[in-house]
Amino acid sequence: MTSRPDLPVPIEALPNPRGGSVRLAEMALADALHAFQRQGETAPALRRAIAALNSAGWLPAQRFAEALALVAPLGDESEGTRQRVESALSVFGAAVERHNLRELSCSTELFDHYRGLHALLAAHTRIAPVSYDDLALAGRAIAPATLRGIAPDRLARVRAHYEQTLLGLLRAPAGQTQAEADETFARLDACLADLAGSDPYDFWRLASSTVRALRSRGDASPASSHADAKRLYARFNLVLADQAHASSFAPRSLVRATLALLWRDFALYGATPEDAEHVDVLRDYGLTVTWHVAATPASEAAWEQSAAQASEEGTRDAFTRDLGVLRVNAAAYEDFLQSAEAAIEGLVERGSQASEAGAVDAATALHAANASHRLGAAACALGLGHVALLADMLGLAWRRIAHQGDGAEQGDAAALDAAIPERAAHTLRSMLHQAAAGIAPSEGRASIVALTAMIERPAAIVR
């Protein structure tokens, strides 16, 4: 977590000086805050912010702004409600101005405000409770997580050992030593490792990676990270019961919640080479991270200072380009187009070759997936939300094809159709051509829907 002395509160992610800005949304949120402070009408300003964020493809931010629009009229009920809404408006407006799309998706501070807004709504209407993935994974498709068949006797033994150890964890006294806690965690992790299969989308692979990452990367807020890990361990016990009753897939809501927690710290703070195993899991689910090498407080402070300087210089000196509501730094825009052109042409070419050959080998599909992820990460850094989402989902679709089982050969009923990502790649190329022409890229909605249906299609399970 950053700690600049000139900031009123610490922020979770570094600002993105080369990222595109949605000035219409920034101005609209500032207007909404001023109107709220004057007890004026906030709805028109918030509607402008929602429309601008939707046009830019900043979907988690759009969802947050929609919650603000619903709750802002309740601001006159009490002083506590008023302070909560005002604080949410202020924090959200500042986050939008940092142009960091991963922060807008994964910030725990923003989610705490989002959950608080929904708590205010719950006092007036019946609404479903929100979870962290509602913001972090907004608009994203998630591949089903499988539960492999395990011999009943063996599964019963693992389950009994897991439940006994979990009970000890949940009943541990407050004064428990770290060594005792680590021993308990190690026993639970051993159970998860024993349950995991070879399928990249085996649920226990995701579960094991997430709880280990939460414990090892909890330096910023160890109490919160360990509490999240404990809650996941408890929820995993319910999945064990489902597996004992021959369920083939883990609950979708738990898969999303687990994946979002795994992505959280890596999205906010970046990954180091030691995190490669966790990053591989994230990639298999279509999520990318930034590799972070400057991990000391001094280097972070220097980075922030240079980022602030770059942002100021960019605003003052650099040329900008407008892509609809998104204003981008001209140099960053040109760099993106140069790298994106080669990547998308390679994707389209590989998809066409696979279509002509009638088959896709795993190496080709993985190469296409990695190229898509690189393109998605670059688009995310520039602020092209619609392009980033489609590229990430395209990468996930190719990874699903690469990882599909040996029994699902091309032409089998269980096989995934490579023509779907091929068509999506053509759509993505059209969106990039729009960006190159200075036109706001379209949403690519039809491709998103087709890819979502493909990605979320359950795989054939041999029990």
Residue 212 confidence (pLDDT) above 80: yes
> Residue 332: which CATH number?
1.20.120.160
Same domain (yes/no): 114, 26? yes
Q: Cα dist. 128→10, 171, 254, 255, 410 in Å? A: 31, 30, 15, 18, 41
Residue 307 lies in a domain: no
Residues 258, 156 within the same domain? yes
Domain span holding position 380: 327-455
Whether 277 maps to a domain, the answer reads yes
Based on the fold, state whether residues 238 and 341 are members of the same structural domain. no
Is 49 part of any domain? yes
pLDDT-wise least confident of 322-336, 350-364, 434-448, 449-463: 350-364
Residue 449 maps to a domain:
yes
Does residue 331 lie within any of the structural domains? Answer: yes
The reply to whether 123 and 161 lie within a common domain is no
> Residue 216 — left, alpha, or beta (φ > 0 → left; ψ -120 to 50 → alpha)?
alpha
What pLDDT is stored for residue 431 in this prediction?
95
- Residue 328, pLDDT above cutoff 90: yes
Which whole number is the average pLDDT over 47-63?
98
- Residue 270 in contact with residue 15, Cβ under 8 Å? no
Q: Which of 284, 314, 336 is the last residue of a domain?
A: 284
Question: Domain tally for the chain?
Answer: 3
Residues 387 and 441 occupy one common structural domain: yes
Mind giving me the DSSP string for 273-318?
GGGHHHHHHHHHTT----B----SHHHHHHHHHHHHHHHHHHHHTS
Residue 304 covered by a domain: no
Asked whether residue 245 falls in the same domain as residue 196, the answer is: yes
> 129 with 156, same domain?
no
Q: Is residue 313 part of a domain?
A: no
Distances (CA, A) of 199 to 256, 400, 414: 18, 11, 16
pLDDT at 150: 93
Q: What is the pLDDT of residue 295?
A: 47
pLDDT at 244 over 80: yes
Per-residue pLDDT at 305: 60
pLDDT, one tens digit per residue, over 100-140 is: 999 999 999 999 999 999 999 988 888 888 999 999 999 99
Q: For strand 326-329 and strand 21-22, is the pairing parallel, antiparallel, or unpaired? A: antiparallel
Separation CA 119–CA 130 (nearest Å): 9
In angstroms, rounded to a whole number, what is the distance separating the alpha carbons of residues 61 and 63?
5
Residues 342, 435, single domain; the answer is yes
Higher-confidence residue: 461 or 141?
141
Q: Within this chain, do residues 342 and 451 fall inside the same structural domain, yes or no?
A: yes
Is 278 part of any domain? yes
Q: How far is CA 452 from the centre of its chain?
A: 16
One domain, residues 266 and 355: no
Domain boundary pick from 284, 318, 348: 284
